[in-house]
Amino acid sequence: MAIYNLEERTLDYAIRVRTFIGKLPATLIINEDAKQLVRSSGSVGANYIEANEAISKKDFKYRMRIARKEVKESRFWLKLIDVESDSILESEKTQLIDESTQLLKILSSILLKSQ
């Protein structure tokens, strides 16, 4: 199901990331990567919301760039998490990486159009 409200879509993304992380085995490496992933995935939506409340065009672009940076970072942490031994988790991870890529394209497009 496509979500066209980007605030809702970024919220859903952060929730899905947290649900995914909750299913991961607790190892030192995964725990450290998961902490970074939680922060960056939540920051995507938070910065998008702040961009929508921007006081200037410059502030809007700045917040959108941060949101785009955070989704790139989230995708990086997702790629680092090794769950190849669990096909269900690997499938969820692949879907989250795909959503990260789609959000990255959307945010990049918004930034391009705001020039």
Residue 33 lies inside a defined structural domain of this protein:
yes
Average pLDDT on 33-48 reads 97
> What is the chain's mean pLDDT, rounded?
94
Q: Quick check: 13 and 41 in contact, CB under 8 A?
A: yes
Count of C-beta atoms within a 10 Å radius of residue 50: 17
pLDDT at 4: 63
Which domain does 75 fall in, by range? 6-113
Number of domains in the chain: 1
SS3 state of residue 75 = helix
CA neighbor of 5 nearest in space, from 45, 62, 37, 41: 45
With respect to residue 43, please indicate whether it lies within any of the assigned structural domains: yes
46: domain CATH number is 1.20.1440.60
More confident residue, 2 or 13: 13
Residue 1 lies in a domain: no
- Phi, psi at 82, each rounded to 5°: -95, 110
The percentage of the chain sitting over the pLDDT mark of 70, rounded to a whole number, equals 97
In a domain, 31, yes or no: yes
Question: Residue 75: pLDDT above 60?
Answer: yes
**DSSP 8-state symbol, 82:** -
Average pLDDT, integer, range 64-90: 96
Average pLDDT for residues 86-114, to the nearest whole number? 96
Contacts of 48 (CB under 8 A, 6+ apart): 6, 7, 10, 63, 64, 67, 107
Q: Is residue 53 part of a domain?
A: yes
